[in-house]
Structure 1
Amino acid sequence: MKRTLAIIFAGIAWFALILQLFLAIKNQITPIHETLIRFFSYFTILTNSLVAVYFTFQACNPNNNRFSQTGKLSAITVYILVVGLVYQVVLRSTWNPEGLAKLTDELLHSVTPLLTFFYWVLYEKKQKLSWSQIPSWLIYPALYLAYIMIRGYLSGFYPYPFVNVSEIGYTQTFLNSFFVLLVFVGLSGLLIFMGKNFNRKNI
């Protein structure tokens, strides 16, 4: 069952990413190299790619790979849940996709986060989760923020309006980033709390 779900979820994640890449290239307004750089500058794309790779490894070898280490699935789940939550609360109202764009939009921001959380509920080794793991889970989003700030300074392109220094300035950008950081910490703590609570009920 675990491998079957991993195969299905990996297929959905890769399909959404490939379709989104196809649409990005089809509708490109910049040279292809810049289009690809911008495509992979979105936290949504990077995190869905991480999810796709995770499920692919799980499908190939569900019980013996580096992604099976305790906390890896929880970290990935936090990242993709942030993708979904920020989109639903902040970004959904900023555009109205149609057709294939609507399909990929829902897959990347709604379906994949829910599927990943479902997989976490079923298969994470919750009894081994620790509060001390949270700082290491924040390295990925911290590196991402550093990347988009440096790349944005050099190119003028910022992937999200709440980190668009050109329009809102550095003070508001870092304030917004701090609030997003709180979301990461809050969701991390919530998953650990839920994991410990689930484990307590199973004793």
Structure 2
Amino acid sequence: MIIQVVLDWQNNMPLVAETGELFQKFGGGPLGRALNVFAFFTIQSNLIVGATSLLLAVNPNRASTVFSVFRLTGLVAITVTGIVTYVALDGLLVFDTWALTADKLLHVVVPIMAVVGWLAFGPRGLTSPRVVKLAVLFPLAYMLFTAIRGPLSSDWYPYPFADVHELGYLRVFINGLVIGLLFVALAAAAAWLDKRLPAKQGAAPTRVEPAL
């Protein structure tokens, strides 16, 4: 992620493979371009995964409702990142050198490690129907944030499928609904798996509490 921020600060942007034109308008100055990086679903997903993983490293027995929601949100969001990248964005941009490195880390390495880490180490027992419902608020809030922010930032949108200026609100709403349904399905699947995967041997039983 740091690599990506530096690249955008320097205006070292990827090009669209078909047209050779800049894919996104990243703001007028270095700071604006760097800050726009954090408007990407990918970046936000990586941040949530990184933060929850760090908290678990400090205290593996975390089991609050707030933490459980963010843990599930990060897991599902980073999975959606990998899937959407492969299905909708693969081949759209041409990367090289450091841009290619940043792309693979954010869209391939972290999603795989996050999913494998959760499957192997858990912790188990942090999901519930309430946690699933709360986790689904993240993609809804993201699409709303993107739709509102776009016109306020010179019609800049982080993804083609979220570009209201080009597609219109109805098409973007449908695209968001599809992604939201995918998020719901993955969150429900993760909750189902969580109840059936064995807990790590020797780990203390987890329980959901009201505070972080």
- 2:172 maps to 173
- Cα deviation, 1:79-107, whole Å, max 9, x if unaligned, reads 11111111111011211211111111111
Q: Which amino acid aligns with 1:197?
A: R
- Determine which structure has the larger helix proportion and give its number: 1
- 1:26 maps to 10
State TM-score, norm by structure 2.
0.78
Q: Percent identity?
A: 29
In structure 2, what is the Cα distance between the partners aligned to 1:127 and 1:85?
Answer: 25
- 1:117 maps to 115
Find 2:90's aligned residue among 92, 98, 104.
92
State TM-score, norm by structure 1.
0.81
- 1:44 maps to 42
- Cα deviation, 1:38-87, whole Å, max 9, x if unaligned, reads 11111111111222222222333333586994454222100111111111
- 1:105 maps to 103
Query: Between Structure 1 and Structure 2, how many residues are aligned?
Result: 185
CA contact (8 A) 2:52 2:70 kept: no
Alignment of 1:43-192 (within 5 A): 43-64=41-62, 69-155=67-153, 156-192=155-191
Q: Which has the higher contact order (CA 8 A, sep 6+)?
A: 2
CA contact (8 A) 2:161 2:172 kept: yes
- Cα deviation, 1:150-171, whole Å, max 9, x if unaligned, reads 1102221111000101111111
Q: Which amino acid aligns with 1:154?
A: L
Which deviates further from its counterpart, 17-26 or 68-77? 68-77
CA contact (8 A) 1:70 1:125 kept: no
TM-aligned CA distance change 1:157 to 1:151, over 3 Å: same
Q: Gaps spanning 5+ residues in structure 2: where?
A: 13-25, 202-212
Q: Which amino acid aligns with 1:124?
A: G
- Cα deviation, 1:126-171, whole Å, max 9, x if unaligned, reads 3452233221001222221121111102221111000101111111
TM-aligned CA distance change 1:186 to 1:164, over 3 Å: same
CA contact (8 A) 1:67 1:73 kept: no
In structure 2, what is the Cα distance between the partners aligned to 1:69 and 1:123?
Answer: 16
CA contact (8 A) 1:62 1:68 kept: no
Q: Which amino acid aligns with 1:195?
A: D
- What's the Cα RMSD here? 2.4
Q: Which amino acid aligns with 2:188?
A: G
